[in-house]
Amino acid sequence: MNHYKELTVQGFWKNNPAVVQLLGLCPLLAVTGTVVNGLGLGLATTLVLLGSNITVSLVRNFVPNEIRIPIFVMVIATFVTMVELIMHAFTFELYLALGIFIPLIVTNCAIIGRAEAYASKNPVHFAAFDGLAMGLGFTMILVVLGGMRELLGFGTLFDGAELLLGEWATSLRIEVYTTDANFLLAILPPGAFLGMGLLIAAKNIIDDVIEKRAQQSQQKVVQRARVTGTDL
Amino acid sequence: MTEIFLLLLGTVLVNNFVLVQFLGLCPFMGVSGKLETAMGMSMATTFVLTVASMSSYLVETYVLVPLGIEYLRTLSFILVIAVVVQFTEMVVRKTSPSLYRLLGIFLPLITTNCAVLGVALLNTTKQHNFVESIIYGFGAAVGFSFVLILFSAMRERLAAADVPAPFKGASIAMITAGLMSLAFMGFTGLIK
Amino acid sequence: MMQYAGKNGLILAGFALVTTVLIAITFYATKDKIEAAKEKQLLSVLNELVPEQQHDNELHTDCIVVPADPLLGNKTQRIFRVRQAGENTGVIIETTAPDGYSGNIDLVVAVDRQQTVLGARVIAHKETPGLGDKIDLRVSDWILSFAGVKYSPETEERWQVKKDGGQFDQFTGATITPRAVVAAVKNAVIYAQQQNQTLFEQASNCGAPSDFVEDNDESL
Amino acid sequence: MKMFADYDQIMERISLQNLWDFPGGVHPTQKKSLSNQTDIQRIDLPSVVHIPVKQHIGVNGELIVKEGDTVKKGQPLTTSENSFAVPVHASTSGTVVAISDHVAAHPSGLSELTVTIECDGKDSEYEYTPMSDYAQRSKGEIIQAICAAGISGMGGAGFPTHLKANNVKPIEFLIINGIECEPYITSDDRLMREHAWQIRQGIDILCHLLQPKQVLIAIEDNKPEAFETMSIACQQEDNYHVVKVPTKYPAGGEKQLIQVLTSREVPSDGLPVDIGCLMYNVGTCYAIADAVIEGKPLIERVVTITGEAVDAPQNVWARIGTPIKHLLAQAQYHSEKQSYPRIIMGGPMMGFTLSSVQIPVVKITNCILVPAAKELPLVEDERACIRCSACADACPASLLPQQMFWHSKAKEYEKAQEYNLFDCIECGACAYVCPSEIPLVHYYRKAKADIRQQQLEKEKSEKARVRFEARKDRLQREKEAREEKHRLAAEARKQSLNKDGGAAKDKIAAALARAKAKKAKQQAQLKDKPSSDE
Amino acid sequence: MTLTLIAILVVVLIALVFGALLGFASIRFKVESDPLVEQIDNLLPQTQCGQCGYPGCRPYAEAIANGDEINKCPPGGEATIKDLSELMGVEAKPLDAAHGVEDVKKVAFIREAECIGCTKCIQACPVDAILGAAKQMHTVIIDECTGCDLCVDPCPVDCIDMVPLHDSSENWQWNFKQVSVGDIPLRQL
Amino acid sequence: MSKLSVGSSPHHHNQRDTGAVMRLVMYACIPGILMQTWFFGVGVLIQIALCMVTAVVTEALIVELRKKNTERVIKDSSAALAGLLLGISIPPLAPWWIAVIGSFFAIALVKQVYGGLGFNMFNPAMAAYIMLLISFPVQMTAWLPPVSLTEQSFTFIDALNTVFTGFTTDGYSIEQLRVGYDGLSMATPLDHLKTQLIEGYTVGEALSSPIMSGNWGLGWTPVALAYLAGGLLLLKLRVINWHIPVSMIGAAMATSFVLFAADSSVYGSPAFHLINGSLIVGAFFIATDPVSAATTNRGRLIFGAAIGFWIIVIRTWGNYPDAVAFAVVLMNMAVPLIDYYTRPRTYGHKAKTSSIHNNEEP
Ligand SMILES: Cc1cc2nc3c(=O)[nH]c(=O)nc-3n(C[C@@H](O)[C@H](O)[C@H](O)COP(=O)(O)O)c2cc1C
Ligand SMILES: Cc1cc2nc3c(=O)[nH]c(=O)nc-3n(C[C@H](O)[C@H](O)[C@H](O)COP(=O)(O)O)c2cc1C
Ligand SMILES: Cc1cc2nc3c(=O)[nH]c(=O)nc-3n(C[C@H](O)[C@H](O)[C@H](O)COP(=O)(O)O)c2cc1C
Ligand SMILES: Cc1cc2nc3c(=O)[nH]c(=O)nc-3n(C[C@H](O)[C@H](O)[C@H](O)CO)c2cc1C
Ligand code: SF4
Ligand code: SF4
Ligand code: SF4
Ligand code: SF4
Ligand code: FES
């Protein structure tokens, strides 16, 4: 159980793929114009990550080293194509909005990164949970960044939720403020980078506070090792 | 000729892969700490992107389209790319250790650079012909290299800057990329 | 050595087999649904311009490709025909305004046979966010002001932006974009008038329907 | 390398007074008139002199006196076995009261081995062996005399003069440096005005040794009197040329002066002789004449005492080893005129602050500067570099000071070296102009010291590795040898046991069990307290 | 449907060829282990002090190559961390205080009068920097001593001190705060 | 004797410190600002004041937050100068929050995140200007016609009212104010040329409109000349070096000449480009920002020339009519690389300095 908790903390915070490992940045920055786009892509990514982690973990013992990467990407590509087809069929507008970034989940570095770093070394239940935690951690950042940009750029939140969740979700849309001069920077490419930079800085500040608290409680000392004197 | 030039200029500057199209960001952030590494990465990426757009064009026109299996596009492209990259890596590693030191360690990273798959896919959506595909791939790579090298030179300078603690590292790099992207907005419209 | 290579080949092939089969299955399972979704998308734009009750043909298939014409932005375009009760009531024309502030603006314009605009929509454009992009229905409903406006040589005067003495609003700080759109819509109407009957006589030749979204990557 | 002006070209331009220039440079206020109005004064002897054993670049000489000895003025205190050692001499007569560490004339204020002599006031002289017929002597003899007189460069670097003079490469230009580009300092100026003739004799000796094609005596154009006297002193010699050099700091730097006169550049890993030049300070020439013609060692030199915190700025003949305090008293120093008491040895651009008034005058001491409160104001803390590159524009070596500063500050020494940190001559022009008041030179010095330290440590760690590995090998060998011995012993025992028959077997089992238990115990001990075993 | 089958077959075939190619290449172009450990070891100070938690510098070098933190070597201090971070392409971070702090350079000094000649320090010194034989007094060769202080603990009579190396005007690091006589540095640096 | 103080040489220092340099630049702006106020109204001064105040306050807050010596930092006047330069590039009657957001962005996100004065890689004022332009194009392109062309004359109070409420005291909106002579709305000459060309007019026709008198953009030209005077003063006082202004203007002239020679009906003449827009201000006050410009002499030549080139390219084909800001910030990116490859030959070294990066420049 403890291990699951650790994986969750890793995925959402300590080793968050987006803000710590800096992986999967392309979709992260490209599709976070709105919360809903972010959420959509985040969920798709999570799905793929879950699937690929499970599969990779299952087959990890049969895969020779030199064809490891081709096999992993093939596995990922399969999940992505399936997700893509499904989204194409059921959430068509969202599919259009996310554009080329759905097939590009294949090369989302976060996914292959987890396959290599975790799934290929750990049993399947952990791998699955890791995939889930990492995926949701990633989604969390997508949503937060999407929220920031949507709020500043359009003054709304959850605009277009119906694309993802069906007609009922139209009512989720929140109009926070209206002006005739939207802060366009937020939705343009530079805004994505700047927003992400600020997000990372915010995380660093929080970490700093946490660490300061933790520091008071514990102080570790490392046992020194000796080179000499043992085998004479 | 002018068309080719405009296509090249367009991919390098106006629709820069990294700063405008958001492709290939992870290596952009990851290997830009040092100018030397960035140059290695640039060369490796240029090579792979060009080869990838070429081979994916071939796969698309001679396998996928005739058989009507465009839905296997992602799978087959990525397979081709991964294999090409890995093969190149092995060969380079064996045949030229010095080149490997320069490029080799970046090659595996490139498989998972979404610019590579992105180029292949965009080539098909934009219906580029063989030559255009190659130019597009090459242009994308040049654009990538261009900003990567500029960025890494800036980051080297940043190393000595008195950046406030929370902004150190990835954060300031992102902000710098944001300001670069801001500047690249100046190119919008150059190619209508 | 050879058998080692062979083993790798087999493993990779095995994976390829499984993965392709999986994809193929998904593909066939979702195929119809995707087709339907695509159709629906196209239809929804067309139907917005010409509501369901004003036609009884399959708009998205009753379509011809016409050669490039200066009035339609010098590009080959598609034209969808609107028929009701066996009568040809109008056309929906794809057109391009070549003189936007930042390049081409792609539109669809629905015109009835009395040269009255039924409606217009911008499909793709690169105009400046915050300035020229008000032609987009998602940003402002300016484009709706075309609905019901009739063109005739006598009303030519009014087919301009207000600044130039016409009836269409310009935007604060951006006149070029609306000018371009107004001109493009006007030209589409003129084109429909000129070609009038010929548009309805040809057989459909559009092939499989595709959606309107182009250059998705560039309008990110 | 840049095109090399050849001899004729250079001479043509010099005769037309159409010199070259060096890049950069600055024009700080001169303030030379404070101290150059009066003759060089003779002053009272101090009560003690502190003579550091090493006052030059190189190694210590061998001490030949001990505490309690009485010495005479000019008596050598050390000898030089090594050619990089330069002897030092008692600068007056008296008793050696201590041979111990004494605060040295060094910016660090650290102590160095020093001979302290209590003066008896008699100033009785040691026997000198003059060599007025030097023209008939062999070069070796003359060089030996220069070395024995303890002469090291008096222009600032303190390089042993006999080494420079012992040259085999052909010399086109012997350059005599009378530039004295540092503000405030006037010791060379006064020396040239008053002792041009003796300087000329020193130059003659150097010419005899080096056979240069041409002697260039370079004097800045802010010293017309010195120019006049030197011109007169040198007028008989065809190949002596007194050259007026435009005033610009640091025109007196060896490399810069060579560039101004000849347009040649000393290669960064080379020496002036590589491009046919050799340079001596005028003070050095004066000392050479003393040493060769009269056999008199270097025991005194001209020192400028100046600054607005002294009432009587002047030049004095100061004995080597004279405590600064003595000189300050001579010039009527008032510490209350300074907001921070501050004494600078050398000029305002390159001199260093002294941490004690007991620091002695040494062979390179050309000036003691005591500025008043507002004269050379202390700068506040540095601000951030605004990259204005005023520093680069001022740098005579065409370096990029701001880049070297960034990298030095960030301790990126490799990059700092890539920007040629070690070509910096520490002239201070960059820091002088920097609007952000960054003590740039200080950063370079720190960086250079750090780099040297790191190189030493690198060498040391390499040595440590070798020794560690050697030790491991040795231990391994010993262990193998021991095991072999044990095996042999065991075999021998076994054989003898076999002879004994079955009864012994129990014994062996018991012994084995004991050994095992002991080993286990040992291991347990080792785990919690790793230490060597018996 | 047959088309689909053909398609799948083609992809499988491609994969087969590629897999074989890679398998072949992996053998044909095999290379030996990487020289990284060597490079890391070269950067470590070789004091063999074990403060990093590994028995000696080389084991730590191996650990770094396998992904251990680079900030565990106190004798190397900031400079070593910087070099390592450059070699490994990671961010430099401050020394992990759990392993100790960067100290001034010291060497061991044996108070010879107290030394009983037990040779324990000789056995403990990783670089053989101590001279002496059984029952005789021992001395440290200052030039060889790395200052690892491994010899201090084993000494049964506690006659070994670690003494800081003196600054001389030759290796002075331009640190005005060390100047004994002076007052406030003009510029706080 | 009391204890002696010690320190590193040189002990001598010349007296112009950073603050003095910055203030000199501000003084040199004064003729230009006065001229601008004369032609475009007191709004100019209001914007400058707003920007300077916001910039200084932002800087003070951040420095305070970082627990540094606030007074010293503010005294270096660099924030005030950045604010001033942003202020002169904002349309005079733009709403107050434009100036506030812009200055905050300049100081907080372009300057202080990098560690403050000296560390920023981009020109704060220009980066902020671009940010404003792409975020609020309507407000940022709302330039007023020169005073002589407007029908309404307005006072200081009017200007203040417009900036803070959007309307003059008489209730005119900025839109109405912009409608000048002949009922035509007024853009800057460059914007005007650009839009006219899109509409299919030739350069000649575009230049015949009231905002132009021949090549001379009304109002804009005297302003440019006034800044030129200030710039020359800076040059004379050796606050800036000649390299950047000369190479920048030279390259812009050369590029526009080539285009003009090729087809004078669609490309503006070199003279037109020189005296319109902010080329001159840019060349003397903006591209010369020491912090974000190249630092070697050869580097400065390259830096300036590239800016000049991009200005003409972006003015001619880009979407943004006034390209100085973009060109400057674009080249700011290249500065570290330029500096690296244009190191001067050090005394005593071979022509090509040794380099561990032996790859050629991309
Ligand atoms: C950054 C920028 C973006 C612009 N984008 C547009 C645009 O998208 N559409 C447009 O018509 N004009 C655009 N313009 C040009 C208008 O500002 C131009 O001045 C205006 O169209 C002229 O019309 P007016 O008569 O309304 O002043 C842009 C100008 C700038 C500076
Ligand atoms: C390490 C070192 C070695 C030198 N070797 C020689 C030499 O062999 N011959 C020589 O004529 N000068 C030699 N010099 C002297 C220099 O050329 C130069 O004259 C001296 O350093 C004083 O220069 P400065 O005061 O301008 O710095 C040497 C100097 C140094 C520092
Ligand atoms: C920046 C700088 C300025 C110097 N200025 C002078 C000077 O004005 N007069 C002088 O004799 N030596 C000056 N030197 C020292 C000379 O470089 C050189 O060491 C000396 O002339 C060699 O003669 P010496 O060996 O007799 O001392 C200066 C050195 C440096 C680095
Ligand atoms: C000659 C000169 C030009 C300057 N130009 C600018 C400028 O264009 N934009 C700006 O923000 N600051 C400018 N500054 C001020 C200052 O250098 C700037 O705020 C720094 O970039 C902040 O780190 C200038 C300063 C000087 C001395
Ligand atoms: S003079 Fe000072 S502020 Fe200017 S570049 Fe040099 S170090 Fe930086
Ligand atoms: S101290 Fe060094 S860097 Fe500074 S001006 Fe002198 S030579 Fe150049
Ligand atoms: S702490 Fe450093 S010196 Fe000590 S053993 Fe470890 S690596 Fe070697
Ligand atoms: S003498 Fe002591 S401190 Fe020195 S190296 Fe040997 S064990 Fe280490
Ligand atoms: S997600 Fe695009 S490169 Fe990592």
Q: pLDDT, tens digit, for every residue of D414-438?
A: 889 999 999 999 999 999 999 988 9
Q: What residues of E are in contact with residue F2 (Cβ under 8 Å)? A: 183
Query: DSSP assignment of B72-123, as one string?
Result: GHHHHHHHHHHHHHHHHHHHHHHH-HHHHHHHGGGHHHHHT-HHHHHHHHHH
Q: Give the pLDDT band (50/70/90) at residue B104.
A: low
Q: Does F126 touch chain A (CB under 8 A)?
A: no
F91 with F140: CB under 8 angstroms?
A: yes
Any atom of ligand 9 within 6 Å of the Cβ of B121: no
CATH of E106-164, one of 2.60.40.10, 3.30.70.20, 3.30.420.40, 3.40.50.300: 3.30.70.20
Half-sphere exposure of F40 (CA within 13 A, CB side): 31
Region E132-146 average pLDDT: 79
Of residues C36 and B166, more confidently modeled: B166
Burial (CB count <10 Å: 0-12, 13-18, 19+), residue D8: exposed
Q: How far is A51 from chain E (nearest CA, A)?
A: 21
- Asked whether residue D109 carries a pLDDT value surpassing 70, the answer given is yes
D310 with D184: CB under 8 angstroms?
A: no
Q: Does E181 touch chain F (CB under 8 A)?
A: yes
- pLDDT value of residue A11: 78
Q: Give the pLDDT band (50/70/90) at residue B189.
A: confident
Give residue-wise pLDDT tens across range A18-44. Answer: 888 788 888 888 888 888 888 888 988
Burial (CB count <10 Å: 0-12, 13-18, 19+), residue C31: middle
Is the entire prediction scored with pTM above 0.90?
Answer: no
**Interface test with chain E among C1, C7, C8, C11, by most E beta carbons within 10 Å:** C8
Of residues F355 and D162, more confidently modeled: D162
Phi, psi values for residue E55, rounded to 5°: -75, 80
CA dihedral D367, D372, D373, D377 (to 10 degrees): -40
Q: How far is A155 from chain E (nearest CA, A)?
A: 38
Average pLDDT over chain B, rounded to whole? 84
Share of chain D above pLDDT 70, in %: 92
- pLDDT value of residue D500: 60
Q: What are the beta bridge partners of residue D412?
A: none
Can you read off the two tokens belonging to residue A59?
A: 């087959």
d(CA C100, CA D23): 55
Neighbour count for residue F5 (Cβ, 10 Å): 20
E123 with E132: CB under 8 angstroms?
A: no
Q: What are the beta bridge partners of residue D126?
A: none
d(CA C150, CA C135): 20
**Whether C163 and F195 lie within 8 Å, measured CB to CB:** no
Region D149-176 average pLDDT: 90
Give residue-wise pLDDT tens across range F77-132. Answer: 999 999 999 999 998 888 999 999 999 999 999 999 999 888 999 999 999 999 99
Instruction: Assign domain E35-101 to a CATH class.
Output: mainly alpha
Cα angle, residue E20 at apex, residues E19 and E21 outer, rounded to 5°: 90
Burial (CB count <10 Å: 0-12, 13-18, 19+), residue E56: buried
Average pLDDT over chain A, rounded to whole? 82
Of residues A171 and D298, more confidently modeled: D298
d(CA F288, CA F81): 13
Kindly state the helix (H) or strand (E) to which residue D385 belongs, with its residue range.
Answer: none
Q: Partners for D (CB, 8 Å, 3+ pairs)?
A: A, B, E, F
Q: Are strands D78-79 and D62-63 parallel, antiparallel or unpaired?
A: antiparallel
- Asked whether residue E53 carries a pLDDT value surpassing 50, the answer given is yes
Euclidean distance between the first and the last CA atom of chain D, given in angstroms as a whole number: 68
For residue F145, whether the previous peptide bond is cis, meaning omega lies within 30 degrees of 0, is no
Q: Whose CA is nearest to atom 2 of ligand 1?
A: F320
Of residues E180 and D54, more confidently modeled: D54
CB within 8 A of D322, min separation 6: which ones?
A: D46, D49, D91, D360, D361
- pLDDT value of residue B102: 59
**Whether A185 and F135 lie within 8 Å, measured CB to CB:** yes
Neighbour count for residue F214 (Cβ, 10 Å): 9
- Asked whether residue D218 carries a pLDDT value surpassing 50, the answer given is yes
**Whether E7 and B69 lie within 8 Å, measured CB to CB:** yes
E48 with C44: CB under 8 angstroms?
A: no
- Cβ-defined contacts of F73-76 (< 8 Å, 24+): F73/F116, F73/F117, F75/F19, F76/D383, F76/F18, F76/F19, F76/F22, F76/F117
The segments of chain F whose pLDDT lies below 70 read 1-2, 144-154, 168-189, 206-219, 351-362
Q: For the packed helices F43-65 and F96-104, what is the interaxial angle rounded to 10 degrees?
A: 30
**Interface test with chain C among E5, E8, E9, E10, by most C beta carbons within 10 Å:** E8
Q: Which residue of A has its CA nearest to E29?
A: A66
Q: Give the pLDDT band (50/70/90) at residue A230.
A: very low
- Work out which ligand 2 atom sits closest to the CA atom of D272: 17
> Which 8-state DSSP code applies to residue B61?
I
**Whether C23 and B122 lie within 8 Å, measured CB to CB:** no
Q: Which residue of A has its CA nearest to F132?
A: A185
Region B88-105 average pLDDT: 68
- pLDDT value of residue A217: 64
Nearest to A193 by CA among B186, B182, B164: B182
pLDDT string in tens for chain C (220-residue length)? 556 667 777 888 888 888 888 888 888 888 888 888 877 777 777 888 888 788 888 777 788 888 888 888 888 888 888 888 878 888 888 899 988 887 789 898 999 888 889 889 988 888 877 778 888 887 788 999 888 888 888 888 888 888 778 888 888 777 888 989 999 999 999 988 888 778 788 777 776 545 444 433 333 3
Any atom of ligand 9 within 6 Å of the Cβ of A26: yes
Integer angstrom CA distances of residue F21 from A69, D436, F124, F294:
58, 10, 17, 18
- pLDDT value of residue A104: 77
Cβ–Cβ pairs < 8 A, chains A and F: 18
A191 with A149: CB under 8 angstroms?
A: yes
Domain spans of chain E, in order of start: 35-101, 106-164
